[in-house]
A and B are shown apart, each in its own frame.
Chain A
């Protein structure tokens, strides 16, 4: 059974650009949640999608957005990139909502903003 797949694994952008990250959950999982990890702030919850609906959102500015498709694959987008957006972005999938289901994490997408 394939695990959670995140693409791309590494990317470099410049300030002001935008980026889209992709997360393919484990087959059959309907929940995808996104997290940002930085050395200064640690791991922080971004948002969760379940059956194409955003269920919860963390304390991030509107530049951070996401969506989920009918096949449960999810994308997150960051517009007008800032240096502080450099981070490891992780997604996790769950069979049910992450409130009650075990989480399975991807390897992450490491974003560097220059």
Chain B
């Protein structure tokens, strides 16, 4: 079993829909990242969380440390949100362990 599990693996939505991507982890962590990767490879860090909730524009990330679970929400989704979303946790020291990613496609 992977230390970091994401669901769903693939997600297709219509423009304007509310989207949720989930991340569960089985190890102790110091922080959790949500990353966005567009075709071509470049990765952008969306959020770094150690507790509670963060919001940036239409993106919201939450984490529940006791339940070892985090969610990334996208409100009013847009085709430009189409990308792979990756959850990554910081474990011992500075080591990052990644989920397998969620491929999101938003259709106009």
Contact = CB atoms under 8 A, between A and B. Distances in A.
Task: Determine if chain A interacts with chain B.
Answer: yes
Interface in B84-104: 86, 88, 90, 92-101
Contacts of A88: 41
A44 B98 contact: yes
A107 B88 contact: no
Interface string A84-114: 0000101010000111101111111010000
B100 A98 contact: no
17 contacts: A31-B94, A33-B94, A35-B96, A43-B86, A43-B88, A50-B94, A55-B94, A99-B30, A99-B90, A100-B30, A100-B31, A103-B33, A103-B45, A105-B42, A105-B43, A107-B40, A110-B41
Contacts of B65: none
Contacts of B44: 105
A75 interface: no
A108 B86 contact: no
A97 B94 contact: yes
B interface SS class: strand
A42 B95 contact: no
Nearest to B2: A42
Interface residues of B, number: 24
The 9 lowest CB-CB distance pairs between A and B, nearest first, are: A43-B98, A105-B43, A99-B94, A98-B94, A108-B41, A56-B93, A48-B94, A107-B42, A56-B94
Given A35-B96, A56-B95, 19 more contacts: A37-B41, A43-B98, A44-B98, A45-B95, A48-B95, A50-B94, A55-B94, A90-B43, A97-B94, A98-B96, A99-B90, A100-B31, A104-B45, A105-B43, A105-B44, A105-B45, A107-B41, A107-B42, A108-B41
Contacts of B99: 42
A33 B42 contact: no
A49 to B, nearest CB: 10
A102 B42 CA distance: 16
A58 interface: yes
